[in-house]
């Protein structure tokens, strides 16, 4: 890695953290906010540098193959999550390795994660993915289905429900995305505030590079930031 790239990554990280802190101040009282580097297409050495030199504690991958390829470099440096759409036949490659699977969006998928976890005698932490915009082109449980789905998943053996990952629609005006974050946060609070679920420090993952400030102001406890940390993605690689 060149010195110029190190400086770029350090500067980007500092800038994102400043924006996170500013959004937390605007929001006022509330839970702490964690930063996850959405690392799709970016090299493992970039992620490892942010973790070992800048203060980043977690990264998340969208593709199982990429997760597997980078795992030996990234995981010793910090938490490595899976945040993309997950097919059941890929679950066996993630269970026992991914520190958190964000994208559980069906009972069938949850059952397969539980089955693979039981085989390894581990408990796998998960988030339920909520499709806030009810977009047919995107994965995730629709908001009105979320409470019942969360309750069902929370009772499955070998799984540890930690919270929700919200996927919001792209809006022309950034202010328009707030209503989706607000609805998702209401569902989150209604479910996870109930003591019967006994879930400590639940996670509300929402907001990406272009909307993480708005997400924090509306209640996010974790934001998924990619290009603002690493720069523009090069999909040709």
The predicted model scores a pTM of 0.93
Alpha-carbon span 71 to 65, nearest angstrom:
10
pLDDT value at 222 more than 80: yes
φ, ψ dihedrals at 52, nearest 5°: -90, -20
The per-residue pLDDT for range 152-178, each reduced to its tens digit, is 999 999 999 999 999 998 887 877 899
Spatial separation of the C-alpha atoms in residues 42 and 50, rounded to whole Å? 12
Count of Cβ atoms closer than 10 Å to residue 75 Cβ: 18
pLDDT digits (tens, 9 = 90+) for 72-107: 999 999 999 999 999 999 999 999 999 999 999 999
Average pLDDT over residues 139-159: 94
Mean pLDDT of the chain: 93
Q: How far apart are CA 37 and CA 23, in angstroms?
A: 18
Helices within 28-161 (DSSP H only): 44-49, 64-74, 107-120, 146-154
Share of the chain above pLDDT 90, in %: 84
Checking if the pLDDT of 196 tops 60, the result is: no
**Token digits of residue 74:** 């990234």
H/E stretch holding 37 reads strand 34-38
CATH 3.20.20.10 fits 3-228, yes or no: yes
Alpha carbon distance 142, 125 (integer Å): 21
| Domain spans in the chain, listed from the N-terminal domain onward | 3-228
- Using CA atoms, how far apart are residues 46 and 76, in angstroms rounded to an integer? 14
d(CA 66, CA 89): 15
Confidence of residue 236 (pLDDT cuts 50, 70, 90): low
């Amino acid at each position: 890695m060149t010195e110029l790239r190190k400086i770029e990554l350090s500067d980007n990280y500092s800038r994102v953290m400043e924006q996170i802190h500013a959004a937390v101040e605007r929001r006022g009282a509330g839970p702490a906010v964690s930063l996850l580097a959405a690392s799709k297409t970016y090299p493992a050495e970039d992620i490892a540098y942010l973790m070992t030199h800048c203060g980043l504690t977690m990264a998340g991958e969208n593709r199982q193959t990429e997760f597997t390829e980078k795992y030996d470099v990234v995981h010793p440096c910090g938490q490595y999550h899976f945040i993309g759409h997950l097919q059941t036949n890929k679950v066996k490659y993630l269970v026992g390795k991914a520190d958190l699977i964000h994208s559980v969006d069906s009972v069938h998928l949850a059952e397969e994660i539980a089955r693979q976890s039981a085989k390894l005698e581990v408990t796998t932490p998960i988030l339920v993915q909520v499709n806030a915009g009810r977009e047919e082109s995107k994965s995730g449980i629709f908001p009105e289905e979320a409470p019942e789905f969360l309750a069902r998943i929370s009772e499955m053996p070998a799984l540890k429900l930690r919270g929700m990952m919200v996927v919001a629609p792209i809006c022309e005006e950034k202010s328009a995305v707030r209503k989706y974050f607000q609805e998702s946060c209401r569902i989150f609070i209604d479910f996870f505030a109930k003591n019967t679920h006994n879930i400590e420090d639940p996670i509300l993952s929402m907001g990406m590079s272009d909307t993480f400030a708005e997400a924090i102001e509306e209640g996010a406890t974790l934001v998924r930031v990619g290009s603002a940390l690493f720069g523009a993605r090069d999909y040709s690689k």
